[in-house]
Amino acid sequence: MPPSSIATITPARQLRGRLGVPGDKSIAHRYALLGALAEGRTTLAHFAPGADCRSTLRCLRGLGVDIEDTAAGMVTLLGRGFGRLRSPVAPLDAGNSGTTMRLLAGVLAGHPFTSTIVGDGSLSRRPMRRVMAPLGRMGARIDAVDGHAPLTIHGTALHAIAHQPETPSAQVKSAVLLAGLHADGVTSVTEPVATRDHTERALAAFGGEVTVDGLRVSVRGGQRLTGQSLDVPGDFSSAAFWLVGAAALPGSRVEIEDVGLNPTRTALVGVLERFGARVAVEIAPDEADEPRGTIIVEGDRTGGVEIGPNLVPLLIDELPAIAALAAHGGRVDVRGAGELRVKESDRIAVLVAGFRALGIDAEERPDGFTIDGASRGARPKGGVADAGGDHRMAMAFAIAALAAEGPSTIEGADAVVISYPGFFETLERLVRPSTGLGAP
Ligand code: S3P
């Protein structure tokens, strides 16, 4: 393993500071995709710097979209207009990004050419039937390897469907709605439980019409979208690691500015309050397409939280961070989260193995886990935890390892580049060491 893959975490007494976080990954994917389908120029400020959104830009370039991408986080796309992406000359590489692969599959299903989307080892193990089935019903033929990437998409004129996925998934909802833009009639998706609504908001921001009726979302095919100038808010899922760290370490205070506060993403706020933290949320008065603002967390008590199936879709990317809450004392119990097993890694297995390696009590179940820092009565020893190639595991282990008696090592730490390049540098800035001089 190259040295860059290893991070050493020293114990901390508190986290303190005010900061911004990288642009939201989910929103940036959608703005880039819709910008490519729109008429005219789209300018995106504070575009997500991680490798996943670079994968979306790379795929769009392969589909003939002119993109300028500056180091300052400004991305400009020249939209090709509705249904006018160009047939790619080589496979499109989605890298590690499930959102790129699934949403792009929806877009390409309605384009009159054949294209192939490939992914890395992790993405090639993730389930794709959940998008292949509805897109197939709309008329597209998609070849895969036993339900897994590479996906070869034979696009065609699509017909509208009413889709009712069994598993709540914003990626599936979005893939079907994006295909619905290229279908005859009105396509709808009715979810069993609400998921993040960035596609709905982004469609409206680009001048599209989208109807939301409870858990049913509908789009009419053949709409024109118009290029926009948009600013991507900070990623709440990246902020989650600092919020959890502050909540877990009494006396901490972390203030995150200009972060996305879309209510389908912020269920963590209630979790932190139930755990015993003080949380203040200030939504900016001039919020446009996506609510944003400042969130402040102060650590006070460490308690216990139970998370059940209905809350899981609204916390799906925060569950690894939430596990780290209990590493410092208290208890976290998560049920109905079997979806975690088909993320960038098997997040239940990798999480429990990593926490145990750090000396933290962790129990694995088929659909969840329990982390019990309360029963131990002493600090965990620390150790060597393997992120399993998964960005959110690397960050969760780093926050958990702050609780240990001595230094810990995170193997595969460079996975953080997927969503949060600079994570470890920011950690260093926020940490007040548990030994030595660091005053609060
Ligand atoms: C995402 C949706 C979630 C989430 C992923 C990003 C999105 O996946 O885990 O990181 O941008 O739509 P599912 O919708 O498949 O649960």
Return the ligand 1 atom nearest residue 130 CA. 15
CB distance 171 to ligand 1 below 6 Å: yes
Catalytic residue from among 24, 317, 372, 414? 317
What SS3 class is residue 391? helix
pLDDT band, residue 213 (cuts 50/70/90): very high
Residue pLDDT, tens place only, 378-393: 899 999 999 999 999 9
Tokens 């060491």 — which residue? 433
Domain residue ranges in the chain:
6-23+233-438, 25-220
Q: Whose CA is nearest to atom 10 of ligand 1?
A: 317
Q: Which residues contact 100 (CB under 8 A, 6 or more apart)?
A: 29, 52, 55, 56, 59, 94, 117
Amino acid at the residue 388? G
Q: Are 73 and 47 in contact (CB under 8 A)?
A: yes
Would you state the pLDDT for residue 285? 82
Using only the alpha carbons of the chain, give its radius of gyration.
21
| Residue whose structure tokens are 């897994």 | 148
Tell me, using a 6 A CB cutoff, whether residue 370 lines ligand 1.
Answer: no
Architecture of domain 6-23+233-438: Alpha-beta prism (3.65)
| Cα 437 to chain centroid, rounded | 37
With the most atoms of ligand 1 within 8 angstroms of its CB, the residue from 55, 102, 169 to mutate is 169
Task: Pick 5 or 181 by higher pLDDT.
Answer: 181
Residue 144 CB less than 6 A away from ligand 1 = no
- Could you tell me where the DSSP H helices lie in 210-345? 236-248, 268-275, 312-315, 319-325
437, 365 Cβ separation under 8 angstroms: no
- Tens of pLDDT, residues 300-343: 988 999 999 999 999 999 999 999 999 999 999 999 999 999 99
Rounded CA-CA distance 399/12 in Å is 9
200 lines ligand 1 (CB under 6 A): no
With b for 16 or more beta-carbon neighbours within 10 A and e for fewer, the 149-171 pattern comes to bbbbbebbebebbebebeebbbb
Beta-sheet pairing, 229-231 with 39-45:
parallel
Length of the chain: 440
pTM of the model: 0.97
What would the DSSP string read from start to end of 219-253? EETT---B--EEEPPB-HHHHHHHHHHHHHSTT-E
H/E segment holding residue 174: helix 170-180
- At residue 302, the pLDDT reads 86
Identify the CATH homologous superfamily for domain 25-220. Answer: Enolpyruvate transferase domain (3.65.10.10)
Decide: 199 in ligand 1 pocket, CB within 6 A. Answer: no
* Whether pLDDT at 410 is above 80: yes
Q: Which of 31, 111, 47, 116 is nearest to 79 (CA)?
A: 31
Q: In the β-sheet with 12-19, what is the strand arrangement from edge to edge?
A: 278-283, 292-298, 253-260, 12-19, 431-433
Work out the average pLDDT over 177-190.
98
Determine the Cα–Cα distance for residues 200 and 204; give it in Å rounded to an integer: 6
435 pLDDT band (50/70/90 cuts)?
Answer: low
Establish whether residue 187 lines the binding site of ligand 1, counting it when its CB lies within 6 angstroms of any ligand atom.
no
Average pLDDT over residues 177-183: 98
The two beta strands, 158-159 and 183-184, are: parallel
Q: Which two tokens stand for residue 207?
A: 């001048």
Q: Could you check whether 6-23+233-438 and 25-220 share the same CATH topology?
A: yes
Nearest of 374, 396, 260, 242 to residue 319 by alpha carbon:
396
Mutate to test the pocket of ligand 1, among 171, 198, 390, 418 (most ligand atoms within 8 A of CB): 171
C-beta 170 within 6 A of ligand 1: yes
- Condensed to tens digits (0 to 9), the pLDDT of residues 235-289 reads 999 999 999 999 999 999 999 999 999 999 999 999 999 999 999 999 998 767 8
390 annotated active-site: no
Nearest residue to 125 (alpha-carbon basis) of 139, 111, 105, 145:
145
Looking at ligand 1, which residue's alpha carbon is closest to its atom 16?
A: 169
pLDDT at 3 over 60: no
Contact present, 354 and 393 (Cβ < 8 Å)? yes
Relative to the CA of 174, which ligand 1 atom is closest?
12
Going from the Cα of 317 to the center of ligand 1, the distance in angstroms, rounded, reads: 8
Closest residue by Cα to residue 33 from 151, 265, 233, 206: 206
Half-sphere exposure of 304 (CA within 13 A, CB side): 9
- Does the Cβ of 26 fall within 6 Å of ligand 1? yes
- Confidence at 420, pLDDT banded by 50, 70, 90: very high
Tell whether ligand 1 has an atom less than 6 A from the beta carbon of residue 340: no
The backbone region for 222, taken as left when phi is positive above 0, alpha when psi lies in -120 to 50, beta otherwise, is left
As a whole number of angstroms, the distance between CA 164 and CA 177 comes to: 12
What is the mean pLDDT of the segment spanning 13-28? 97
Best mutation site among 24, 25, 26, 312 for ligand 1 pocket (most ligand atoms within 8 Å of CB)? 26
Which pLDDT score, from 0 to 100, does residue 1 have?
41
Question: What are the tens digits of pLDDT across the range 132-164?
Answer: 999 999 999 999 999 999 999 999 999 999 999
